[in-house]
Structure 1
Amino acid sequence: MFKKPARCYHRRTTMFAGLFARRIVQGAIPFILIVSGCYAQFVPGRYTLLLDDPPVAARFAGRAEMQSASASAYRNQIETRQQRVISDLAARRIQVTGAVSDLLNAVFVTAPADRVSEMLAIPGVAAVRPMRRYKPTLNRATQLMRAPVAWDALGGQSNAGKGMKIAILDSGIELTHPAFQDSSLSMPAGFPKCSGFSDDCKNFTNSKVIVARSYVRQLAMANVVDRSNPAAQSQPDDYTPRDRLGHGTAVASAAAANQNSGTVAMTGMAPKAYLGNYKIVGTPGVNDGPTDDVMIQAIQDALSDGMDVASISWGGPALTGAVDTGSACGIATGQPCDPVAYAFEKAAQKGLVITAAAGNNGSDPNLIYQEPYPYFNSISSPSSAPSVLAVGATTTSHVLTPSVGVNASDAPANLQRISAVAGDSVFTPSAQGANRAPLVDITQLSNDGLACTSLPAGSLTGSFALILRGTCTFTTKTSNAQAAGAVGAILYMADSSAPISPSAQDFVGPLVMISNSDGLALKSYIATHPRQVVTIDSAGIEMELSDYNALEKISPPIAANQLASYSSFGPSPDGAVKPDLVATGGLDSTIAFSPGLYLAVQTYDPNGFLYSVNGYAAADGTSFAAPITAGAAALVKQAHPSYTASQIRSALMNSAAQDTTTDDQGNPVDVEWLGAGRLDAGAAAAVTVTSEPASVSFGYLKAGVLPINKSLTITNRGTSSVTLAVAVAPNSTPSGITVAADKQTVTLAGCTSATCPTTTLAITLSGSVPPSGAYSGGITLKATGVSLRIPYLFIVPAGVPSTVFPLFGSLQGTPGTQGGTIAIQSVDVYGAPVSGTPVTFTASRNALTFQSVKGEPQCTPENSSSVTCATDNYGVAYTSVMLGPNTGTPTVTARAAGNTFSFNAFILPKPAIADGQILDNASFQSTVAPGSIIAIKGSNLMDQDLLMNSAQGYDLASTSPYPLVLDGVNVSFDVPAAGISVPAPVVAASAGQINVQVPWTLKGQKSAQVKVTLDQSFGTSIYSNVVTASLADYTPAFFTNSGNVADALDTNFKVITSSNPAVRGQFISLFANGLGPVSNTPADGAPASGTSSTTTAACSVSIGGQQVTPQFCGLAPGFVVYQVNVQIPAGIGTGNQPITISVGGQTSPSGIVIPVQ
């Protein structure tokens, strides 16, 4: 998982658009939202119905058998029975959103919570489980994991991974990135494979990326009650496989990037492997968390598509044992408690090697709850599945620190990469990547260079400000710069002392400090090269970890290959060994501010968390350890094509290096922290003896359970016979209990056929149950050239709560609705669940009420503002929160075992679009055209608490393309009869008005149903009323300023006004709305890239009564607006002259003038 700074937070950022954006708003607005919601919680109204018949995977042994005629017949049989259930649901007006039959026999639905019992009573339905929404859980990395050794064994880096196929279940892959270009590869037989739009294969696959599937449409329709008219609850999005978050691109690069270069050269673990893009996540703030149904469908598709390895870096708390069924969680016998983990387990059993991020919850990184460290039993699902490789994180050997650089190729060398120190601003668009803008020395703005006084309005619009340290606070300096329009700031020291970190938390944008000498050199350069574009790159300079320790005075110093303290720890909820192993994941941001993994990221959407103008960024997290391990799995399979998925798992785990002995704080670690050890790709590729399973889990011990017997199947896949010495190496030796093997030596003949020699090794835990504790060790098998270590673990519970922690608890909605679920986990000091722990939830009377969650221990009293709920068998207590009748932000207090936690509930008014108030933003008429900027007026159209620019009253978007969400607001256009459901790029936001661009997709439509959706990322989506907008392809109108003066610029780019009138015979540029379709239509919200986007119908302009043929009529290059270039007729009069524009048989409104001299 991608390591984010906090479990639940959001940052709201407002930046200033340029002159055009200010003019077009006309009382409207645009902004950018950076969100990290509390994911991995229950999704209100979403359920998985588990059906009676076993899935196909339960009847057929392997992947090949699942494609047989017999399997096809059985699949048809259970899908026929599914249809009976679906028909029954339809008759009850319960919306079905999907179904699967291979790994799980299930139907996915949208329904109110009070209909769960009704659905459970439908013939054929065995169990109902709530859905969850999940969260995101390399140059040096491959070296640390000894990839070069594996590459050498496979014929070198140029052959490493060749022929192997790795599925990436994530946010998409940026196809055009250099990391994914390889002309030496050819498309394998049967590929490409795609889903969704017909152009997906053409636009989103190449010789490297051979699968392009998107499940975003499924996410977008998840809450829809009536599929025939989805407008009321649709959440339309970018349905293509394009990556708008950056996480998927980064993950794919860690697994299999070709060698490519940014700040440093970087290569994925298996650089010649193919990649499959399985996009399970939509656009940030719209559909940015996958749910159970898409996770299950994606892993089923990866298996069916014939992928060799799959990697997933998204997950949520493992609330039950991964393969627990029936009574363990209070449902029907044989039905899985965790449908997602169950589906991933089945896929792994059928031959797909799966790596999954273990999670980033080993510590409470922001000390939000002051929880003790380590946090055991924090493993995520689906990594909790026994056959899925759960991968934790270790530290890397370097860090990436910020730099400032002048972009011009002829700039002096000393200005191309200046070392910088980052500040603590709200860093946008991406804190991990690079951002660029023109640099302005504020001394050129009649300022003394200190920015301690206000700067001229608009003087820094869209620019970085160069500011001298001294006299006033950093906050004063940056506030003045931001008020003048700055989108970033470079401060420089006033003397020769070392740069320090500038603190200005209210500043929005990149903020860094450089030395005095570098600042003066930069100042001198831009004095002769004004407005030079400069890049502030968060990962611009590579620094050795030892140097970074000295610079930052880190004690104890961080070393490579230590366990990262954020990495989630075991055991799994059922007491099994997890994580399975660890791999490079970067550094811990609570210790090292600068990240440690250099990755490819997306360059398309500036609102994505992992975005960079140069396509590279640095980040940390188990999100990246998992794909590194997936790449290693591909190398093992390439080296040993006949190995089963289970044997590849053994090769990776049982060859793991044992040199990770402490965490990054110096604490000793063992199996419960890191599983089998640290990934060694070179050793794994050389493994010829395997163990199945690859670890031994004795679980939680209690009186009367001993002895416990386990067995290991040892296989010799080498061609020579081998005699293995067997030993047990405990990490500690409690008295009275032993772990023993039934053989001291094992001899296996060489493998000479498809069936290789095997033997069974019995492992017994016997004696008496020792005092409470976590006990681990390894079973070793050694011979010349062979060294395997099989980890084991057993835990004797203490039975007393030690770590009590909130798993989730985002609460939001409108008055009187279900606001979400809170879950509190209670485990003892060793990670064993403590069941029966009372958890009390309280809130002010009438503000909220608490209810029991079906299938979980009953809360008492029911439907009260103060209840007590006991933890279940897995140590988790749940309560469902009903919001009170009034808007506000009441607080929920949870208390358990001496711990107190607080949760805010956000009860928001329902947004309302006013009748007849969807208006063209130039003419303010009620018919609007695709491609135009419009205003949507009403009340409560955004959460007022998210407004940044309260003085202005609205927030403006600053990024290109315009975002699909702004201040937590997104807008949808639906035409059900045409099958159209599309998002509108948001230009501006306020509580009373939202400005958006009408999607180009609506060309030719006469009307569309429009709504506003609030805050999907923070909790339950809140939908406005649906209003019908009148559409026409042509609604020409000029934007205006100063009343009825047409918005125009002269050839010096100065605004035409009565004091700066247009000159007869000279050209002006006018800005307009509603000029109709254009050639080379850009993506929604994206600017035109050049002068080729001209209107498909001819334009004609009348000025002072004379008709003028425009020199240009189309989209303004670099803007999301029409531009019309015309020459002012020489023979017209002076003063305010009437002006209109005609196109497509329509003429703009009269009464608009252009001043002429």
Structure 2
Amino acid sequence: MLRVLLLGCLLLFATKAEATVFPNRPPVPSSYENEQEIAIVETAPERMKKVQQMIRREYPNIRVRCVYQTALSGLSVQGSRKELRNLAKIPGIARVTPVAVYKADITESVPFIGGAKVRGYFDASGRRLSGAGVRVGVIDTGLDYRHPDLRRSYAGGYDTVDNDSDPMESKTKEPTQHGSHVAGIIAANGKLRGIAPDAKILAYRALGPGGVGSTETVLNAIERAIKDRVDVLNLSLGNDVNGPDWPTSIALNYAARAGIIAVTASGNSGPSIWTIGSPGTATQAITVGASTPRLRIPYLHVAGREFRLAQLGGAKEWNLERTYEWVDAGLGKTADMKNARNKIVLVKRGELSFAEKVQNAQRAGAKAIIIYNNMPGSFGGMAEGAAIPAAAMSGRDGAWLRKQRDSLAGTVFHTEQDRLAGFSSRGPVTVTWGIKPDVVAPGVGITSTVPKGYMSLQGTSMAAPHVAGAAALLKQAHPNWTPEQVKAALMNTAKLLYKGKQPYHVYEQGAGRVQLEQALHPPFLIYPSSLSFGLIRSSQGHTIRKVAVTLDNQTEKVQKYVFEMPQARPGIQWRLPHTVYVKPHEKQRVVIGTELSAFTLREGVHEGYLRVRSGSTAAELPYLFFVEEPDYPRIMGFRFVKGDAPELYRYEMYLPGGADELGIVLYDPATFRYVDYIMYRQNVTSGRVREVISVKQSIKGTYKALIFAKKGKKEDIIEKTLQFQ
């Protein structure tokens, strides 16, 4: 508590000092302004030709790299930083967005999504469903199309990193395997069989060595997939920007309108709220969070207590049957492993990589290693090739365990399934207040194909292709269904997951865990399948919000629909349709309304599930609204790097709602003494903020930095350690 007060006082003092600090800033050299960058320019289709003409006339030094007509209405352009900033002045240009970095979403055997996979899935005519005739695009790190389990499924693709027709995984000093693992979950057809083994995979390599790409490479891949007329598109990638207006999110909405079932991972930044990233914020895409399949989970038993262990991917399975001594081995350095032989070693996360800690334990003769978090919460990771069992533990459990001296550790096993993975990113989406993820699917301990073999990995990257594979089977069974109908089938039939006696929040699981057998033959569909009533202000008093939904009868009989009244809550009065009858294979549009009393309702998030019943079948529609602007992060995606001259540094961040005041202030890491402002701006618009700043030569070394954004009465502060050379 004391530290929070100190930081608050520091910020106040720094704000007062700002007026005298900034006039002394050395100017940014003009050479930096002339350096080349790439940006995405958005414009309306009817303005495209005129905008290109004006760019050529007004800014002849700007080069148009790509023209997007399907995935996005806009251009990818390259030019000087100064000229790119000025592009926004051209009439008809809606937005100019610098490219962002995208990474493969992964925290570090046929997957389980419900139903008896052994006997297979069938359509209404009794035909076995295997994905035959369905084309699935995979935008990722490429594909090892020589793998014996992927050769039959591979049907071509493109490499938007190297701009050629060979989408093979990277084989450089930073080799990749992510795309092959994702593709195997969807359509492996060999020793391992995916969800839709007879589907054809079109691989689009948009992430290069190390699994890293850019907005431009991802947009180019989406554009090509639309032109190639894929039926399903999987993107197990993302960034840390929770914004519906990001170019890749907009592009996925275009893909859905073009008839493509777009599936994307929610991200691996959970368990906090607001952690979902683009393109998982795309309204019309199916955004997938991660749950656990049926797993045999090891628990460490020490001093009468049990602690859940998360096995690290690629390590030897945790199969210890008897009791062992354990030892605290610090950070897992070689010097910490003196007493590790034939014992379980407990080490703290940090300084060394997981692989280094495991290797040090192996060399010391340890039986197994447990890495506990150096911050609150759980985590997952990789220890590929570990010859001893390796697992992760929460920071709280590890801290307790360290205090238990002279204790023995045993292992007990519990069978678990349908728990939400701690790493799975949560919604909602900023600005639109939409519900994401839409569904969840297994993303823990998933074995699939990788170059030269197989591997078990975890992440929402593994959950999304479960849904992409399911979508391929739905498309085969119902070739005339639209992406909206496929999404509704998956959401309307999903299984709600519970944490104890209460369901997980709607912004954690959406409609629940996918159940493929039920989704293949739903008696009805309701879409949109989640209800966002937006933001309510106290000053509005009583307000009515409405959402129109479509009731889609999929049977040969007249269906009767009954909307069940949710549990009564003060300040919420539901206005639901009366009993509705829909004729066979027809649709009817109805309006769901709520009358909300902002005076009665508490501030914050309000959520739940609205049940719609027809006969013995019911669908749970997640709903959400906010009273007053929620406390979402005002600052996202902050990065700070060295510039191209001794005094120059670059920063970038994303502001979902803009800021009245934005600043970066430095203080001494030991005393919290105010040092200097290095940036301060007012009236900053929403979106990505990117700028080069010049820092005083007198500022050298390591500092703590407060980055703050204030909008109205809301203020967000993040703390970072910054180094100046």
TM bin (shorter chain): 0.7 to 0.9
Residue among 359, 368, 373 paired with 1:511: 359
Residue among 660, 674, 679 paired with 2:509: 674
Q: Which residue of 2 aligns with 1:179?
A: 149
Q: Does 2:83 correspond to 1:115?
A: yes
Q: 1:492, 1:515 within 8 Å by CA — same for their partners in 2?
A: no
| Whole-Å separation in 2 of the counterparts to 1:500 and 1:890 | 33
Residue among 600, 620, 625 paired with 1:794: 625
Distance 1:834 1:212, change over 3 A: closer
Taking the TM superposition and a 5 Å limit, the aligned residue runs for 1:991-1002 are none
Taking the TM superposition and a 5 Å limit, the aligned residue runs for 1:1096-1107 are none
Distance 1:691 1:44, change over 3 A: farther
Q: Which residue of 1 aligns with 2:291?
A: 394
Residue among 96, 99, 106 paired with 2:67: 99
Q: Does 2:654 correspond to 1:821?
A: no
Residue among 432, 439, 449 paired with 1:600: 449
3-state DSSP of counterpart to 2:136: strand
Q: Does 2:598 correspond to 1:775?
A: no
Deviation string, structure 1 residues 110-144 (Cα, Å, up to 9, x no partner): 2333223432345764542222122222926x324
Distance 1:797 1:555, change over 3 A: farther
Which structure has the greater CA radius of gyration? 1
- Counterpart of 2:233 in structure 1: which amino acid? A
Residue among 153, 178, 182 paired with 1:208: 153
| Whole-Å separation in 2 of the counterparts to 1:113 and 1:905 | 25
Deviation string, structure 1 residues 926-981 (Cα, Å, up to 9, x no partner): xxxxxxxxxxxxxxxxxxxxxxxxxxxxxxxxxxxxxxxxxxxxxxxxxxxxxxxx
Q: Does 2:713 correspond to 1:893?
A: no
Taking the TM superposition and a 5 Å limit, the aligned residue runs for 1:155-554 are 159-181=129-151, 207-217=152-162, 240-243=167-170, 244-258=175-189, 260=191, 266-284=192-210, 288-320=211-243, 322=244, 337-363=245-271, 375-398=272-295, 432-433=313-314, 478=334, 494=341, 499-500=344-345, 511=359, 537-538=385-386
Q: Which residue of 1 aligns with 2:664?
A: 841
| Whole-Å separation in 2 of the counterparts to 1:177 and 1:294 | 25
What are structure 2's unaligned runs of at least 5 residues?
1-34, 299-308, 317-324, 368-382, 394-407, 669-675, 709-714
Q: 1:816, 1:882 within 8 Å by CA — same for their partners in 2?
A: no
- Counterpart of 1:842 in structure 2: which amino acid? V
- Counterpart of 1:300 in structure 2: which amino acid? E
Q: Which residue of 1 aligns with 2:396?
A: none
Distance 1:392 1:97, change over 3 A: same
Q: Does 2:443 correspond to 1:585?
A: yes
Distance 1:518 1:358, change over 3 A: closer
- Counterpart of 1:841 in structure 2: which amino acid? I
Deviation at 1:351, TM superposition (A): 0.7
Q: 1:51, 1:106 within 8 Å by CA — same for their partners in 2?
A: yes
Distance 1:739 1:122, change over 3 A: same
| Whole-Å separation in 1 of the counterparts to 2:638 and 2:119 | 41
| Whole-Å separation in 2 of the counterparts to 1:392 and 1:175 | 27
| Whole-Å separation in 2 of the counterparts to 1:898 and 1:85 | 40
Deviation string, structure 1 residues 891-938 (Cα, Å, up to 9, x no partner): 46125458550242565xxxxxxxxxxxxxxxxxxxxxxxxxxxxxxx
| Whole-Å separation in 2 of the counterparts to 1:113 and 1:641 | 47
| Whole-Å separation in 2 of the counterparts to 1:474 and 1:362 | 27
| Whole-Å separation in 1 of the counterparts to 2:457 and 2:573 | 43
Identical residues among aligned pairs (%): 23
Deviation string, structure 1 residues 1117-1147 (Cα, Å, up to 9, x no partner): xxxxxxxxxxxxxxxxxxxxxxxxxxxxxxx
Q: Does 2:529 correspond to 1:561?
A: no
Q: 1:311, 1:630 within 8 Å by CA — same for their partners in 2?
A: yes
Distance 1:474 1:542, change over 3 A: closer
Distance 1:132 1:157, change over 3 A: farther
Deviation at 1:788, TM superposition (A): 2.3
Q: 1:701, 1:795 within 8 Å by CA — same for their partners in 2?
A: yes
| Whole-Å separation in 2 of the counterparts to 1:177 and 1:880 | 45
| Whole-Å separation in 2 of the counterparts to 1:350 and 1:553 | 56
Return the TM-score normalized by structure 1. 0.48
| Whole-Å separation in 1 of the counterparts to 2:341 and 2:552 | 69
Count of residues in Structure 1 that have an aligned counterpart in Structure 2: 616
Deviation at 1:360, TM superposition (A): 1.6
Distance 1:617 1:885, change over 3 A: farther
Q: Which residue of 1 aligns with 2:557?
A: 721
Distance 1:518 1:733, change over 3 A: same
Deviation at 1:378, TM superposition (A): 2.1
Deviation at 1:472, TM superposition (A): 14
Deviation string, structure 1 residues 1007-1048 (Cα, Å, up to 9, x no partner): xxxxxxxxxxxxxxxxxxxxxxxxxxxxxxxxxxxxxxxxxx
Q: 2:344, 2:366 within 8 Å by CA — same for their partners in 1?
A: no
3-state DSSP of counterpart to 1:511: helix
Q: 2:136, 2:199 within 8 Å by CA — same for their partners in 1?
A: yes
- Counterpart of 1:87 in structure 2: which amino acid? R
Q: Which residue of 2 aligns with 1:84?
A: 53
| Whole-Å separation in 2 of the counterparts to 1:626 and 1:673 | 15
Deviation at 1:253, TM superposition (A): 1.5
Return the TM-score normalized by structure 2. 0.73
Q: Which residue of 1 aligns with 2:584?
A: 750
Deviation at 1:518, TM superposition (A): 11
Q: Which residue of 2 aligns with 1:1016?
A: none
Deviation string, structure 1 residues 330-377 (Cα, Å, up to 9, x no partner): xxxxxxx432211210110221001111112223xxxxxxxxxxx222
Q: 1:843, 1:866 within 8 Å by CA — same for their partners in 2?
A: no
Q: Which residue of 1 aligns with 2:494?
A: 656
Q: Which residue of 2 aligns with 1:954?
A: none
| Whole-Å separation in 2 of the counterparts to 1:283 and 1:674 | 32
3-state DSSP of counterpart to 1:562: coil
Q: Which residue of 1 aligns with 2:428?
A: 571
Q: Does 2:102 correspond to 1:131?
A: no
3-state DSSP of counterpart to 1:563: coil
Distance 1:667 1:471, change over 3 A: closer
3-state DSSP of counterpart to 1:253: helix
Deviation at 1:836, TM superposition (A): 4.9
Distance 1:903 1:729, change over 3 A: farther
Q: 1:360, 1:567 within 8 Å by CA — same for their partners in 2?
A: yes
Q: 2:256, 2:284 within 8 Å by CA — same for their partners in 1?
A: yes
Q: 2:549, 2:592 within 8 Å by CA — same for their partners in 1?
A: yes
- Counterpart of 2:176 in structure 1: which amino acid? L
Distance 1:636 1:565, change over 3 A: same
Deviation string, structure 1 residues 1073-1096 (Cα, Å, up to 9, x no partner): xxxxxxxxxxxxxxxxxxxxxxxx
| Whole-Å separation in 1 of the counterparts to 2:509 and 2:433 | 14
| Whole-Å separation in 2 of the counterparts to 1:144 and 1:342 | 29
Deviation string, structure 1 residues 240-272 (Cα, Å, up to 9, x no partner): 533431111111112222253xxxxx5422222
Deviation string, structure 1 residues 852-882 (Cα, Å, up to 9, x no partner): xxxxxxxxxxx96252657766xx8956342
Q: Does 2:513 correspond to 1:700?
A: no
3-state DSSP of counterpart to 1:356: strand
Q: Which residue of 1 aligns with 2:31?
A: none
| Whole-Å separation in 2 of the counterparts to 1:494 and 1:767 | 65
- Counterpart of 1:166 in structure 2: which amino acid? V
Q: 1:725, 1:781 within 8 Å by CA — same for their partners in 2?
A: yes
Distance 1:668 1:869, change over 3 A: farther
Deviation at 1:689, TM superposition (A): 1.4
3-state DSSP of counterpart to 1:115: helix
Q: Which residue of 1 aligns with 2:29?
A: none
3-state DSSP of counterpart to 2:221: helix
Deviation string, structure 1 residues 809-865 (Cα, Å, up to 9, x no partner): 14233325763334376xxxxxxx7765755412489xxxxxxxxxxxxxxxxx962
What are structure 1's unaligned runs of at least 5 residues?
1-42, 56-77, 182-206, 219-236, 261-265, 323-336, 364-374, 402-421, 425-430, 436-468, 481-488, 520-534, 546-550, 587-595, 604-614, 752-756, 826-832, 846-862, 908-1157
